[in-house]
Structure 1
């Protein structure tokens, strides 16, 4: 899997996101519409904090629905093939600025319930590691402009 093929998700993560999407679309929308209608019944909308709060909540929910829709539509589901090369779905142990770190290159959704830090494949660190193997050295430019050297110690597929 490469960074251009979408988000890699385990079946469990995909199912969890699909369930959240289904709940928001089928239950959440109806509940927030009812809440907005009840607040609208209270009178003057200009001074109705409950109404405005419900509308804000509706906007947040719709943004999350759209985010989930895009993720699910672009997702690659299953176990990643692993040949030792770092790709989305790889747990990496690396030395970064003299400190050993262990993290997942991928999406935060698949690491839910683990103690792994997550770097997306599009992040500066994740992008620098794509295609690398244990023993490789690379670098990336930090947001402050500093070059950060990274040495890959180990790479393994994420197993949940």
Structure 2
């Protein structure tokens, strides 16, 4: 079975969500279903149907998270010897050669990606272009606006 890379922070976030779903949301939904059943006729009981739908979404998400965690390969870059090479889990600082603007990205798993938090998926074009390169290398990244060249300024194993 294929393992998918995930950072320690990503696995902890999924585990916290899973625990919340199992210990808070699931009991609340079961209680809502029981309460709605007491109102009588289930065919025309909107509260019952809404609670059942919530239950379906909750159980689906629980299964999805459990599947992701069981197929995750958790990578902790803080336990690895630091080097100048870009690998999964590192934070990389890059400089746009054309306008000298600086960017910083953390390369994370697909489920953890959040561009607003400067976390990009390992499968994104930028990350694929950076992985395996070292500080000082110049990489050409194909973007919707054309090819952009970046220089790798720093690699941090944090």
TM-score under structure 1 length normalisation: 0.70
Q: State the match for 2:151 in structure 1.
A: 151
Residues 87, 121 of structure 1: 8 Å contact kept: no
* Cα distance change, pair 30–129 in 1 and its aligned pair in 2 (3 A): same
Q: Which residue of 2 aligns with 1:118?
A: 119
RMSD over aligned Cα atoms: 3.3
- Give the aligned partner of residue 64 of structure 1: 61
When residues 117 and 37 of structure 1 are mapped into structure 2, their CA distance, relative to the original with a 3 A threshold, is: same
What's 1:139 paired with? 140
Is 1:73 aligned to 2:70, yes or no? Answer: yes
1:94·1:152 contact (CA, 8 Å) conserved in 2?
A: yes
Counterpart CA distance in 2 for 1:58 and 1:148 is 47
* Alignment-derived partner of residue 91 in structure 1: 91
> What residue is the counterpart of 1:22 in the other structure?
19
Provide structure 2 residue ranges, at least 5 long, that are not aligned to the other structure. none
Rg (Cα) greater in structure: 2
Retained in 1: the 8 A contact 2:5–2:75? Answer: no
Match of residue 103, structure 1, among 102, 105, 123: 105
Distance 1:52 1:153 in 2: 55
Residues 16-36 of structure 1, C-alpha deviation per residue, up to 9 Å, x if partnerless?
532432342355323322323
Match of 1:8 in 2: 6
